[in-house]
């Protein structure tokens, strides 16, 4: 029986400063052997526990896509001991990874449907995984129109800028980036995500909405989606409750009778409506 607490060893091959404030880095980790990669079968929306040996471990959403073999990506904000240590690690360091953990975005249900993906700031990591998966040539034909609304306080805080630039050139994705206030040199939209979502007004017909971001963004975007006609069953959310063990044993991330790490982190709005408002 596989020990769920035993991490796979992976090599840090890239430690990239993602944002201009230098508080978010994206780490690219490669598998050390083929058997470990084969055992790590994941889908967009899942997370993993990343450990720095001798320091500790922490859960992070997987930012890479299964369509990007050989490695995993994690975008990590510097907020504590483990993440601060991660930010300082040189490339070549061996790290531990436990996972994949949690559930995934319902990509089978999404097939044949239009998708509206809404993200804010740092919480764009698993959305990147989802978008990259859908845009892959093997999958793009399985899904309808793809609209992405992504906001940050300023352009320097947007993640994955090179990929955003590439996505903007494509005709099979409608990408709308927005910042909170005007900045010299910015030619995109200006405004908060809820207001921009209302302006763009993506159709709810034959569509799902996937939303991940700061609680205040979600709070004010939810009424917009409901006004546009998205039913609670077709609004998909990814919770970010504070997780610890990742396998539903420690009870740190429970909401009502659900564990975010085990039963989530992906839930429909309809499912969350049945739970206490503790998320």
Binding residues for [2Fe-2S] cluster, by number, are 245, 250, 253, 261
Label residue 252 exposed, middle or buried (CB < 10 Å: 0-12, 13-18, 19+).
Answer: middle
Q: 95 near 29, Cβ under 8 Å?
A: yes
Q: Minimal CA–CA distance to 123: which of 210, 56, 189? A: 210
Q: Pick out the residues of the known binding site.
A: 245, 250, 253, 261
Alpha-carbon distances, residue 143 vs 110, 112, 130 (angstroms): 7, 5, 12
Question: Using CA atoms, how far apart are residues 264 and 279, in angstroms rounded to an integer?
Answer: 12
Q: Minimal CA–CA distance to 209: which of 188, 230, 184? A: 230
Within 8 A by CB and 6+ apart from 89, the residues are 12, 15, 52, 95
Quick one: angle between helices 215-228 and 193-200, nearest 10?
A: 20
């Amino acid at each position: 029986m596989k020990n769920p607490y035993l991490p796979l060893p992976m090599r840090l091959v890239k430690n990239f400063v993602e944002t201009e404030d230098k508080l978010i880095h994206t780490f690219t980790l490669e598998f050390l052997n083929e058997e470990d990669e084969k055992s790590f079968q994941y889908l967009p929306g899942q997370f993993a526990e990343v450990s720095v040996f001798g320091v500790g471990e922490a859960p992070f959403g997987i930012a890479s896509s299964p369509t990007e073999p050989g490695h995993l990506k994690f975008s990590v904000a510097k907020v504590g001991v483990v993440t601060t240590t991660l930010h300082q690690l040189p490339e070549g360091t061996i790290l531990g990874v436990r996972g994949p953990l949690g559930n995934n975005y319902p990509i089978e249900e999404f097939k044949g449907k239009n998708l509206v993906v809404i993200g804010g700031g740092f919480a764009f990591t698993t959305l990147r995984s989802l978008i990259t998966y859908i845009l892959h040539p093997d999958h793009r034909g399985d899904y309808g129109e793809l609209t992405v609304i992504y906001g940050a306080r300023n352009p320097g805080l947007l993640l994955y800028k090179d990929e955003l630039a590439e996505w903007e050139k494509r005709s099979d994705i409608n990408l709308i980036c927005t910042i909170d206030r005007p900045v010299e040199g910015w030619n995109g939209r200006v405004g908060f995500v809820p207001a921009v979502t209302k302006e763009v007004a993506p159709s709810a017909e034959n569509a799902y909405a996937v939303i991940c971001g700061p609680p205040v963004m979600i709070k004010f975007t939810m009424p917009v989606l409901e006004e546009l006609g998205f039913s609670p069953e077709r609004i998909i959310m990814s919770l970010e409750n504070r997780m610890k063990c990742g396998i539903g044993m420690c009870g740190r991330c429970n909401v009502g009778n659900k564990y975010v790490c085990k039963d989530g982190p992906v839930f429909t709005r309809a499912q969350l409506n049945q739970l206490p408002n503790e998320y």
